[in-house]
Amino acid sequence: MKYVIGVDLGTSAVKILLVNQHGDVVLSVSKPYPIINEKTGYSEQNPKDWVEQTTTGLFELLKGFDGNIEAIEGISFSGQMHGLVLLDENNEVLRPAILWNDTRTTAECQRIYEVVGEKRLLDITKNPALEGFTLPKLLWVKDHEPQVFSKVITFVLPKDYLRYKITGKLQMEYSDAAGTLLMDVSKKEWSTEICELLGIEPSCCPPLVPSHSEVGKITAEFAEATGLSKSTRIFAGGADNACGAIGSGILEDGKTLCSIGTSGVVLSYEASDDKDFGGKVHYFNHGAPNSFYTMGVTLAAGYSLTWFKDTFARDESFDRLLADVGSVPVGSNGLLFTPYLVGERTPHADASIRASFIGIDSSHQRRDFVRAVLEGITFSLNESIHIFRENGKRIDTIVSIGGGALNDDWLQIQADIFDAKIIRLKSEQGPGMGAAMLAAYGCGWFDSLKDCANEFLKEDRQFQPNKSNVQKYKKLFSIYQDVYTQTKDMNKKLLDFRK
Ligand SMILES: Nc1ncnc2c1ncn2[C@@H]1O[C@H](COP(=O)(O)OP(=O)(O)O)[C@@H](O)[C@H]1O
Ligand SMILES: O=C(CO)[C@@H](O)[C@H](O)COP(=O)(O)O
C-alpha cells in the first residue's frame, strides 16, 4: 500500500492526514497554536509555531505508523490564506505574521483604490481591496514599520513558509497568490503595474508554480526531526479554500461548497475567469489546473462559536454545548445573532462593524443563545448564497465541511436556511484531504484530480430542507439583513471605546 500526507495549516491548528491509495484516512493528528490579538482588529501568529507544531505533529503521526516509511510517497499542503510572512536576506522571519482576519488596514485599502483605481484593480486581480488581503498588510508595514520594511527581501504566505522550512526552497502557488491582490489572476503572473504603483519591489514576490507541481525533497534535518524518508516528494499545495474545494469534489460547474472553519466560506466552481460579479464575491484561481472559484467569506463563522464557548462555557466540549440546540425552535425564540465579532467581508466589507444579539428576553436560556449563534453564522453565509443566486447561479446542492459539518442539527439548519440539499462526506476532512489529493495526483496515482475525487470521496449523509422551516427562515433572514444597516453607525461611535 502507498500513502500520501496532507498538511492543513489552519488558523486554529495544523491538521495532518495520512491517506492511503483508496482515500482512507489511516492516521491523523491535530496540533494547535495561539492567535495573538494585541489590539482590536489585530490578529497575528508566530510562524515558528507553525513549523514546530507541524514537525511535532508529523513525528507523532509517524510514531503510530507501522508500515514502510518509504511507502509515504508525497506530501502537500493547504494553508490559511492571505497571511503576510516577511523574510530578510537570510530568509529569517522579520515580524509575526499578520493574518487574514486582521483588519487594521482600512486606510491602506483606500490608498490602493486611490493609486491603482477601483476598476483597474478589479481588471487585474478580479477582486476588491479588502483588509484581509496581503497587499494592504504589506503597505501597512511599509508605513508603520519602515525599519522592518527596509529589510524585506521576500514575502510569502503561511503554508509557503512552512514548505520552505521543509524543502529549503521558496515558492508561492497560484491559488494562494490570487489572494495577495498582487497577482494578475487571468495571466497567472505578478502584476508589476500594481507593484510599481504602490512602491513594492517586484523582486519581493516569489516564483509562482501550479498547486500540484513538485517543488523539492525534504531536507535531511526535517527528515531526521519527523521520521520521514528523505525521498518523500513535496508538492506545492493550495489555499485552504481551494484545497477544501478539491477535497470535497468541487471540480466542475454547478458544484457548491460551504466550509465552516474559523472563517466561513461559500464557494462555487468556475470553469473560466470571465464572469462578472463586480467584486461582490472573491474570484480566485483554483488548485485544480486552469480553473477558478468564486466565494463569499464570513470572517467569524466557527470563530463566533468558539468565542461563545470560550467566554461562557470554557470547560465544556462543543458536542456538550450544542447538545440541546435541536430542542430550540427555528428562530431561537426570537433571539438573533450577527457574527461580526471581528468585522465582516461578504457582503459588507466593513472592519468596524461588530456583532449583536438582538431580542434578548428574560425567558431565554443558554441553549437559545447557542442556537442563535449557529443561525446567525448560517444567515451570514446565506448572504453569499443570495449573491450567487442573484447572479443567476443555481444552488440546490451544497457539500458542507469543517467544524460546521460535525453537528447534525447545524447541518439541518444549513439545509433550511440555504434552502438546498446539504451533503456530508464520509471522511469529512476538507482542506487536508484536498492537500493529500494534490500529492496523490502529483505522484501520478491518477490522471486528474477528478479521477482522484472519484476514488477518494464518498458521500455519508444528505440533509433535505424542511419546507416549513425554509419559510420561517426566509422571514428571519430579512430581519437579520436589517441588523447590519441599523447597527453600523452605532458601532462606528463605539470604536473609541474598544481596546
Ligand atoms: N463538534 C463541533 N460541532 C460544531 N462545530 C464545531 C465542533 N468542533 C469544532 N467546531 C467549530 O469548528 C471550528 C474549527 O473548524 P476547523 O475547520 O478545524 O477550523 P480552521 O481550519 O480554521 O482551524 C471551530 O471554530 C468551532 O467553532
Ligand atoms: O480569508 C480567508 C479566505 O479569503 C479565510 O478562509 C482563510 O483562508 C482562513 O481559513 P480557515 O482557517 O477559517 O479555514
Per-residue pLDDT of 200-233, as tens digits, reads 999 999 999 999 999 999 999 999 999 999 999 9
Which is nearest to 217 in space by CA: 201, 233, 229?
233
Packing angle of the helix pair 467-494, 408-418 (nearest 10 deg): 90
Cα(5)–Cα(442) distance, rounded to whole angstroms?
12
ipTM for the complex shown: 0.96
**Phi–psi pair at 285, nearest 5 degrees:** -70, 140
* pTM for the predicted model, two decimal places: 0.95
Task: Name residues whose C-beta falls within 8 Å of residue 138's C-beta, 6 or more positions apart in sequence.
Answer: 84, 155, 200
**CA 231 to ligand 2 centroid distance, Å:** 31
Residue nearest to atom 1 of ligand 2 (CA): 100
The length of the chain, given as a count of residues: 499
CA distance 172 to 159: 9
From 50, 248, 257, 305, the mutation candidate for ligand 1 (largest count of ligand atoms within 8 A of CB) is 305
Q: Which amino acid is at 69?
A: I
Long-range contacts of 28-37 (CB under 8 A, 24+ apart): 28/61, 28/429, 28/432, 29/57, 29/58, 29/60, 29/61, 30/57, 31/56, 31/57, 31/60, 35/11, 35/99, 36/96
For residue 83 the three cell numbers come to 497571511
* Dist. CA 221–CA 223, nearest whole Å: 5
Give 205 Cα–ligand 1 centroid separation in angstroms: 32
Smallest CA separation from ligand 2 atom 2, residue: 81
- Asked about 361 being catalytic, the answer comes back as no
Ligand 2 pocket residue status of 82, Cβ below 6 Å: yes
Amino acid, single-letter form, for residue 245: A
Measured by CA distance, the residue closest to atom 6 of ligand 2 is 263
Give the β-pairing of 292-298 and 214-217. Answer: unpaired
**218 in Cβ contact with 228 (< 8 Å):** yes
Instruction: Report how far ligand 2's centroid is from the alpha carbon of 356 (Å).
Output: 22
In tens, the pLDDT along 425-467 reads: 997 778 999 999 999 999 999 999 999 999 999 999 999 999 9
Fold equal for 3-241 and 250-428+466-499: yes
Cell of 260: 465552516
Calpha distance 179→163 (Å, rounded): 18
Cis before 339? omega within 30: no
Cβ atoms 101, 176 nearer than 8 A: no
Cα 402 to ligand 2 centre (Å) = 11
pLDDT tens string for the chain (499 positions)? 999 999 999 999 999 999 999 999 999 999 999 999 999 899 999 999 999 999 999 999 999 999 999 999 999 999 999 999 999 999 999 999 999 999 999 999 999 999 999 999 999 999 999 999 999 999 999 999 999 999 999 999 999 999 999 999 999 999 999 999 999 999 999 999 999 999 999 999 999 999 999 999 999 999 999 999 999 999 999 999 999 999 999 999 989 999 999 999 999 999 999 988 989 999 999 999 999 999 999 999 999 999 999 999 999 999 999 999 999 999 999 999 999 999 999 999 999 999 999 999 999 999 999 999 999 999 999 999 999 999 999 999 999 999 889 999 999 999 999 999 999 999 777 899 999 999 999 999 999 999 999 999 999 999 999 999 999 999 999 999 999 999 999 999 998 888 7
Q: Which CATH number fits domain 250-428+466-499: 3.40.718.10, 3.30.420.40, 3.20.80.10, 1.10.3210.10?
A: 3.30.420.40
Ligand 1 atom with the smallest distance to the CA of 240 is: 21
Q: What is the CATH number of domain 3-241?
A: 3.30.420.40
When computed from its CA atoms, the radius of gyration of the chain, rounded to whole angstroms, is: 22
Contact call for residues 475 and 15 (beta carbons, < 8 A):
no
- β-bridge mates for residue 18, sequence order: 5, 27
Q: Which atom from ligand 2 is nearest to the alpha carbon of 132?
A: 1
- Could you identify the residue written with the cell 472563517? 263
In the DSSP assignment, the letter for residue 122 is H
Here the cell at position 338 is 450577527
Which residue in the list 240, 368, 409, 416 is annotated as catalytic? 240
What is the residue extent of each domain of the chain? 3-241, 250-428+466-499
Q: How far apart are the first and last CA of the chain?
A: 54
